[in-house]
Amino acid sequence: MRFKPPPPNSPIGWRVEFRPTEVQLTDFENAAYVVFIVLLTRVILSYNLNFLIPISKVDENMQEAQKRDAVRQGQFWFRKEVLPQNECCDDLETKPAAAKSYNQCNGEDEQEYTKMTINEIINGQAGGFQGLVSLMNSYLETVDVDVDTRCSVQQYLRLIQKRASGELMTTARWIRAFVQNHPKYKYDSVVTDEIAYDLTKVADEITKGIRACPELFGTLNSRTKVSLPPVVHKNLRKENPDHDILT
């Protein structure tokens, strides 16, 4: 993420812009990451979450994230508690959200932060941090979401959870495994044209749905490939009452 400066001559203030990930192999993966990020923004705004940590620890996290297999092996600085339940000032309830966040972060000691694995950040710790997905599920319980949409969202979140835990491969880990297991790879860090071609061909087949890849996705059971959810049908009919666009 990065700070996004306000437009010229605009009352809009500084904003934080999420920079999620690279484009994935399939629409399902891309949808999963987009939904995860959008849900996270809604949870932050709804619960007034505090993710602030010192910039020095952000720098450490960036260095850790660049290491091989950091998703499973790395540990990253994160707040022990993100919910605003331990305000440091008695009058914070009367202050805006930005002021709360600043006051909660200002003057805190090292005990407010700890190193966690990606699995712990996403899925939670036993007796510790509840995990981002748990917060998202709590938020989803408070909003009006139809059953079909909720099922699709849960499949997206399960993909994120299983990749965080290592049960499913990330794309980077899958590419490394493909190259290392290729019969022409000589374990000399050289990816030949033949290996690159085979990798590209397999990736293209996965993208087009020709080849299954359970190590990346597990077993999918998406209803969106068969039909649109009823709520989408209903909204489309409202927008186009004179056109039978769904037959």
Which SS3 state, helix, strand or coil, does residue 115 take?
A: strand
Scored b (16 or more CB within 10 A) or e, 59-73 reads ebbeeeeeeeebbbe
Q: Which pLDDT score is estimated for 236?
A: 56
- Reported as a single tens digit per residue, the pLDDT across 9-67 is 888 888 777 776 678 999 999 999 999 999 999 999 999 999 989 989 999 999 999 99
Instruction: Write down the residue that tokens 């099922």 correspond to.
Output: 151
Q: Which pLDDT score is estimated for 84?
A: 81
**Banded model confidence at residue 99, pLDDT cuts 50, 70, 90:** very low
**Residue 104 contacts residue 87 (beta carbons within 8 Å):** yes
Mean pLDDT, to the nearest integer, of 210-231? 70
pTM here?
0.75
Nearest to 29 by CA among 190, 197, 207, 183: 207
The Cβ of residue 140 has, within 10 Å, a number of other Cβ atoms equal to 17
Mean pLDDT (the chain) is 82
- Reported as a single tens digit per residue, the pLDDT across 119-161 is 999 999 988 899 999 999 999 999 988 888 889 999 999 999 9
Nearest to 78 by CA among 21, 125, 36: 125
List, in order, residues 6 or more apart from 81 with CB less than 8 Å away: 112, 129
Residue with the larger pLDDT of the pair 89 and 29? 29
Q: Which pLDDT score is estimated for 242?
A: 57
Structure tokens at 129: 């941090």
- Would the pLDDT of 235 be above 70? no
